Amino acid sequence: MAEDTAPRVPEPPLLREVLPELTAELMALLEEEGERDLAVVAHDLRIVAPCGCGDGSCQSVYTHPHPPGTPYGPGHRTVALLPRQGMLNVDVVHGRIVYVEVLDRPPPRPPSPGAGGGAEEPVREA
pLDDT, tens digit (0-9, with 9 covering 90-100), for 25-78: 999 999 999 999 999 999 999 999 999 899 999 999 999 999 888 999 999 999
Rounded mean pLDDT of 9-13?
Answer: 91
Asked whether residue 16 carries a pLDDT value surpassing 50, the answer given is yes
pLDDT, tens digit (0-9, with 9 covering 90-100), for 76-124: 999 999 999 999 999 999 999 999 999 999 887 665 555 444 434 444 3
CA-based Rg of the chain, rounded to a whole angstrom?
16
